[in-house]
Chains A and B, each alone.
Chain A
Amino acid sequence: MDTFAIGNLMRRPEAGAILSLIAVIAFYVIFGGVNLVNLFGAASWVNFAANLGIVALPLGLLMIAGELDISIGAMIPAGSMSIAIVSGYYGMPIVVGMAVALGLGVLVGLVNGLLATRTTVPSLIITLGTLVAMQGIVLAGSVLLTGNASVPLSAPDWAKTIFGQLLGGSYQIIIVWWIALTALFVLIIHYTPWGNWVFAMGGDKESARNAGIPTNKVTITLFVLSAVSASFVGMCGAILFNSAQVSGGMNYIFNAVVSVVVGGVLLTGGFGSVMGIFFGTLTFAIVNQGIYFTDIDRNWSSLIIGVMLLLAVLMNNSFRKLAMTARPKKKPA
C-alpha cells in the first residue's frame, strides 16, 4: 500500500486542505490565544462541519465531474419545510414526511440532471434557476398551506434517535451520518469503477462518453445525490429543532463551495478527493466557528476565510503540479 511519506502526501489532492487545517489552528492558537482543549472539546464547530459536510460531499463530486449545483441553498429549507408541513402541520406519520422531503430532493435532482444533460446550458445557470424557483415554491407553498413561514414539528422518539438527537448533550447525531457518508463516498469514488468514471467525466466528458461511460446517467445520479443530501440536512434539522423555517440555507452554497475548493477539488473538474472535501469542510468549520474561541473579533472571520481560500487554492495548484512530476527515485546516476 501507499507509504505515508511526506512527499507522497504532498501529491495527494487533500494535501492543501490538511495543511490549511493545521495553519488555521496554528493561527488561532498563536494570534487568538485559543485553548486547544476547549476548541477540540467544543461541539459547535463539529456540528457545523457535519451539516455542511453532508452537502459539500456530493457537491464536491459534482464539481469533480465538472458540474455545479447551487440549488442546494433552497433544498435545505425545502427538506425541513416539507417534513414539517406534512408531519407537523398535517400530522401525518413521520415516515411520510421523510419520504416527501427526500422525494422532493430526488425530483429537483432529476430536473437539474436532466436539464444539465439534455441542454448545453451550464449547470451553474440551471441550478440558479432551480434555486430561485424552489425558494419561491417553498415560501409560497408554506404560506399557502399553513399561513406561516415557520412550522413546528414534533418527531417520534425513534426518528429523533436516528436523525435528531444530541449525543453527549451537544453533539448532533448528524455527525455520525457525515462520517459514515464520507466513508461510503471514499469507497465509491476511489475504489469502484463508477468513481473512476466521475473523474474521467470531469477530465473530458466527450472522451469519457466515447469510452463507453454512461455519462448522462452518472451526471443525473450526482445531481440527485446532491439535492437529496441537502434536503436530508434540512430534514434532520427540522427533527432536531422541532421546527422549520423557510429562510436559511443560502449560506450553505458559499460555504460548501469554499469547503470543496479548499479541499483540493479542481474547479474545472477532473481532480479531487473525498478526504480532501472532508478536510476542507473541517477547515472551513474551524475558521468559521473557531473564531468564537479566540480573542479575535469575529467580524474578522470573513477576512480569514478569504485569505485561507486564496492560500489553499494556491497550495492546491502547486501540489497538483507536484503530483504531475515523477516520484523521486533513487537512481544510481
Chain B
Amino acid sequence: MAENTPVLELRDVNKSFGPIDVLHDISLKVHAGEVLCLLGDNGAGKSTLIKTLAGVHRPTSGTILMDGDEVSFDRPKDAQDRGISTVHQFGGTFPLMTIGRSFFVGVEPTKKFGPLKIFDRKTANETAVKAVQDFGITRIDDGDRLIGGLSGGERQSLAIARAVHFGARVLILDEPTAALGVKQASHVLRIVLEAKKRGLAVIFITHQVTHAMAVGDHFAVLIRGALAANFMRGEKSREEITDLMAGGEALADLDSIIEGYMETHEGHPPAPVA
C-alpha cells in the first residue's frame, strides 16, 4: 500500500494565525484504504491541520499534494470538489431538514412536472436511505425524518454515507465519536472501517485510545503543532500510544520523542508543554 502515490501528502506545511504559529513543518502522507489517526492533546493543532486540508485555511507555507500533484484550495468547496470531505462533530448541519432533503442540499434531484422541474422527494429519500443502509445502519428507513431526530451516531453515519455517495476520496472526521456512548461510537467506527474497505483514505481525530486502536492503520501525533510521532499500526504498543495521546507529557519516553523530533527538525525542539 505504502508504495503507491499517496492520495494526500503534506510537505513542510506551516500555518500561523498572525503571530501565533500553530503548525510547524508538518510532512505527512495518507494513502487510499488507510485510516490515519491524528492524535494529540487539546490545542495541539489537529483541527487546524485538517481545516488546512479541507480548504478552510491556507497553509502559510509548504505544499499539499493530491495524487502527487500540487493543489491549493481557496475555499472548502474546492477541496470538496477534489474529493476531500469533512464530517463535522455533530454530523448533519441541517437538523431541521429531512434526511432526503439534507442529503441532497445543493445537488437536488429533480423530476419533470409539466413544464417545471421539481424536487424529486421520492428519489432523494430512497437514495439517502439506501446509502446509509448500505453502511449497515438499517434503522434509518424513512427519508422524511428530520436529521435532528437521529441519534448522534446515526447522524455521523449518515454524513459519512453522504460523503461516500458523492465520491469522497478522503474522509476527514474531527472527533466523530467524542459525544457518543459506547454503542453509538462502535457504529461510527464500523462505518469508518467500511469507508476504508471501499478504498477511501480516512483521517480520524480522536482522544480515545480504544477508538484509535480499533480502526487506525497509521498514527500521527501532534505536540504543540509539530509532528512528534508518525508510525504504522503495530509499531508501538497500546501504552505508548496512550502516553503519546496525552500530548507527550509525563511519559517514560518523553525524551526519546523530543530527540526524534529534533533529529527531523534540525535540532530545534518543540515548544515546551505548559
- The interface residues of chain B lying within 8 Å CB-to-CB of A213 are 105-106
| 8 Å CB contact of B96 from A193, A195, A196, A320 | A320
Q: Are A197 and B105 in contact, CB atoms less than 8 angstroms apart? A: yes
Given known contacts A193-B108, A197-B106, A200-B105, A270 and B97 CB-to-CB distance under 8 angstroms: yes
| 8 Å CB contact of B77 from A195, A196, A203, A209 | A209
Q: Are B106 and A212 in contact, CB atoms less than 8 angstroms apart? A: yes
Q: Are A191 and B119 in contact, CB atoms less than 8 angstroms apart? A: yes
Q: Are A196 and B95 in contact, CB atoms less than 8 angstroms apart? A: no
Cα distance, A213 to B117, chains bound together (Å) = 17
- The interface residues of chain B lying within 8 Å CB-to-CB of A211 are 105-107
Most A C-beta atoms less than 10 A away, residue of B96, B102, B104, B149: B96
- The interface residues of chain A lying within 8 Å CB-to-CB of B107 are 211-212
Complex interface bits, B135-158 against A, C-beta within 8 A gives 1, otherwise 0:
000000010111011000000000
B58 smallest CB distance to A (angstroms): 16
Cα distance, A207 to B118, chains bound together (Å) = 23
B113 interface contact, C-beta 8 A: yes
A120 interface contact, C-beta 8 A: no
Q: Are A193 and B110 in contact, CB atoms less than 8 angstroms apart? A: yes
Interface residues of A in 289-321 (CB under 8 A from B): 320
Cα distance, A320 to B146, chains bound together (Å) = 10
Q: Are A200 and B149 in contact, CB atoms less than 8 angstroms apart? A: no
A329 smallest CB distance to B (angstroms): 9
Complex interface bits, B86-98 against A, C-beta within 8 A gives 1, otherwise 0:
0000000111110
A45 interface contact, C-beta 8 A: no
Cα distance, A195 to B118, chains bound together (Å) = 10
A324 interface contact, C-beta 8 A: yes
A291 smallest CB distance to B (angstroms): 34
Q: Which partner residue on chain B sits nearest A202 by CB separation?
A: B96
Cα distance, A270 to B104, chains bound together (Å) = 16
Cα distance, A8 to B218, chains bound together (Å) = 48
A208 interface contact, C-beta 8 A: yes
A325 interface contact, C-beta 8 A: yes
Given known contacts A196-B119, A208-B106, A209-B77, A326 and B94 CB-to-CB distance under 8 angstroms: no
- The interface residues of chain A lying within 8 Å CB-to-CB of B106 are 197, 200, 208, 211-213
- The interface residues of chain A lying within 8 Å CB-to-CB of B110 are 192-193
Q: Are A323 and B146 in contact, CB atoms less than 8 angstroms apart? A: yes
- The interface residues of chain B lying within 8 Å CB-to-CB of A195 are 119
- The interface residues of chain B lying within 8 Å CB-to-CB of A203 are 93-97, 102
Q: Which partner residue on chain B sits nearest A325 by CB separation?
A: B149
| 8 Å CB contact of A204 from B75, B80, B93 | B93
B90 smallest CB distance to A (angstroms): 11
Complex interface bits, A262-284 against B, C-beta within 8 A gives 1, otherwise 0:
00001000110000000000000
B76 interface contact, C-beta 8 A: yes
A119 interface contact, C-beta 8 A: no
Cα distance, A203 to B119, chains bound together (Å) = 19
Interface residues of A in 204-219 (CB under 8 A from B): 204, 207-213
- The interface residues of chain A lying within 8 Å CB-to-CB of B104 are 196
B116 interface contact, C-beta 8 A: yes
Cα distance, A203 to B117, chains bound together (Å) = 24
Cα distance, A320 to B104, chains bound together (Å) = 22
B101 interface contact, C-beta 8 A: yes
Cα distance, A193 to B118, chains bound together (Å) = 7
Q: Are B94 and A270 in contact, CB atoms less than 8 angstroms apart? A: yes
A330 interface contact, C-beta 8 A: no
Cα distance, A326 to B141, chains bound together (Å) = 10
Q: Which partner residue on chain A sits nearest B101 by CB separation?
A: A196
Given known contacts A212-B107, A323-B149, A199 and B77 CB-to-CB distance under 8 angstroms: no
Cα distance, A207 to B142, chains bound together (Å) = 23
- The interface residues of chain B lying within 8 Å CB-to-CB of A196 are 97, 101, 104-105, 108, 119
Cα distance, A105 to B94, chains bound together (Å) = 32
Most B C-beta atoms less than 10 A away, residue of A210, A324, A326: A210
Q: Are A191 and B102 in contact, CB atoms less than 8 angstroms apart? A: no
- The interface residues of chain B lying within 8 Å CB-to-CB of A193 are 108, 110, 117, 119
Cα distance, A199 to B98, chains bound together (Å) = 11
Q: Are A192 and B101 in contact, CB atoms less than 8 angstroms apart? A: no
- The interface residues of chain A lying within 8 Å CB-to-CB of B145 are 326-327
Cα distance, A97 to B70, chains bound together (Å) = 58
Cα distance, A309 to B102, chains bound together (Å) = 30
Cα distance, A326 to B154, chains bound together (Å) = 13
Q: Are B148 and A324 in contact, CB atoms less than 8 angstroms apart? A: yes
| 8 Å CB contact of B97 from A191, A199, A209, A212 | A199
Q: Which partner residue on chain A sits nearest B166 by CB separation?
A: A211
- The interface residues of chain A lying within 8 Å CB-to-CB of B97 are 196, 199-200, 203, 270
A95 smallest CB distance to B (angstroms): 28
Q: Are A210 and B76 in contact, CB atoms less than 8 angstroms apart? A: yes
Cα distance, A196 to B99, chains bound together (Å) = 12
Q: When A and B form their complex, which 7 residue pairs have the shortest distance between CB atoms, in order from nearest? A: A211-B106, A193-B108, A203-B94, A324-B149, A271-B96, A207-B93, A212-B106
Q: State the B residues within 8 Å of A (CB).
A: 75-77, 80, 93-97, 101-102, 104-108, 110, 113, 116-119, 142, 144-146, 148-149
Would you mind naming 23 contact pairs between A and B with Cβ atoms under 8 Å apart?
A192-B119, A193-B110, A193-B117, A196-B97, A196-B101, A196-B108, A196-B119, A197-B106, A199-B97, A203-B96, A203-B97, A207-B93, A207-B105, A210-B75, A210-B77, A211-B107, A212-B106, A270-B96, A270-B97, A320-B96, A324-B148, A326-B142, A326-B149
Given contacts A187-B118, A212-B107, 10 further A-B contacts (CB under 8 A): A196-B105, A199-B94, A200-B102, A200-B106, A207-B105, A210-B75, A211-B107, A213-B105, A324-B146, A327-B145
